[in-house]
Amino acid sequence: MAPPPHVDLIVFGATGFTGRLVAEYLHTTYGDSGPVTWAMAGRSLEKLQRVRDELGISPALPLLVADATDTAALARLVSQAKVVITTVGPYQRHGEALVTACAKAGTDYVDLCGEPGWMAKMIPRLQGPAALSGARIVFSCGFDSIPFDLGVVYLQHQAQERLGAPLVRVNGRVKEMKGGFSGGTAASLIATLEASAQDPSLARTLANPFALTPGFHGPPQPDDNVAERDEWLGQWTAPFVMATINTKNVHRTHALLGHPWGTGFVYSERWLTGEGAKGEARARRLARQTKVQNALLAVGPTRALIRRFALPQPGEGPSQEQREKGHYEIVFTGQTADGRRLSATVQGDRDPGYGSTSKLITEAALCLAQTTGHQSTPGGVWTPGAAMGMTLVRRLQAKAGLTFGVG
């Protein structure tokens, strides 16, 4: 019998909507038998074959079968790749066995996790095995949190080059976003809220901006749950729902890098709502809506209704036209200790939840698999910004439709 295929990437969850987009991106961008070798994996061979055929992928592409709960099958699966991409969430329900298998086997791992409670539990459990095996475990490689995490890394890099000093405070402001969050993001939010109902201590983790930096707790951070005017940009701002996870990843990146921006670093992340009275009214309206939505989501029957009627069902999502018409723009402003300021913009050319996310996670995985400059990154649990930094910024600009620019 021939030995199992050894590939650069395995796409686990390739029959789901986002996993299928990842497979499609790999097929159209890198081909099926070119310099990037890859395989599709899932729990149903029949569904994998259907996706492969519908996308026009070569019949020679390896299809690997494993269930997210079958530890033996997952151990065999991860041994066949340099990096595993998983789009199977919520990760707190379906992710532990796979990431544990990668950590033990020395296989690099990337996911789309935006579940800080689960990540806070996994970091201490995985750090030891991953450090021993050499596996780089990198959470949050989609819209949460790459544009934000790397946006801060990019701005700090530019500050060192242009100002010769780090920025001790950075504000991330979502200026424009066409195209919604993915169904996986919403499902993860609901799963987190349900977990909070079972474990009240999880609420403290969600509220703590330093929940992913074990052993370090920095200074008080801004209250991003209210309407507030951004004096640097001269606009009003409102709460941004993904700030809960993005801020934690930014602070974890900073900690993993050894706090080069100072242990007093402050980060804030919000929506821009505009100038003057109209901007203020919109900011206050969105802040009220956020409070009401959070209160409703805390109620079990509401979550059940959303899960049944509002979330995309398996295999569902926006059309290709909707994905291609989507885009986003995030403005980052920062200030040095002596008051000098610098700003940067990150733009994405597809909808954030699906079109951009599928490219982001794929290129992050390939950055781990191919970039010799980061082979020295040791095994452990990382963020994209700490593990790959400016190397990934350059790759995303070249391949994934992201634009990073100063000013």
Of 17, 24, 187, residue with least CA distance to 95: 187
Q: Hey, what CATH class is 7-142+356-406 in?
A: alpha beta
The predicted model scores a pTM of 0.93
Residues 367 and 394 sit within 8 Å (Cβ to Cβ): no
Q: Tell me the H-state helices in 83-115.
A: 91-94, 96-105
Distance (Å, whole) CA 48 – CA 53: 9
User: Where do you find CATH 3.40.50.720 in the chain?
Assistant: 7-142+356-406
pLDDT cut 70: percent of the chain above it: 88
Residue 299 DSSP symbol: S
Residues 286 and 273 sit within 8 Å (Cβ to Cβ): yes
pLDDT, one tens digit per residue, over 107-141 is 999 999 999 999 999 999 999 999 999 999 999 99
Residues 66 and 41 sit within 8 Å (Cβ to Cβ): yes
pLDDT on residue 1:
35
Return the amino acid letter for 198.
Answer: Q
pLDDT, one tens digit per residue, over 188-222 is 667 776 776 677 777 888 889 999 999 999 999 99
Residues 333 and 233 sit within 8 Å (Cβ to Cβ): yes
pLDDT, one tens digit per residue, over 27-66 is 999 999 888 999 999 999 999 999 999 999 999 999 999 9
Distance (Å, whole) CA 105 – CA 81: 10
Burial grade of 365 (CB within 10 A; 0-12, 13-18, 19 or more): buried
CA dihedral 226, 231, 237, 242 (to 10 degrees): -80
Of 144, 90, 95, 128, residue with least CA distance to 214: 128
CA dihedral 112, 117, 119, 123 (to 10 degrees): 180
- More confident call, 214 vs 300: 214
Distance (Å, whole) CA 377 – CA 375: 5
Distance (Å, whole) CA 241 – CA 269: 9
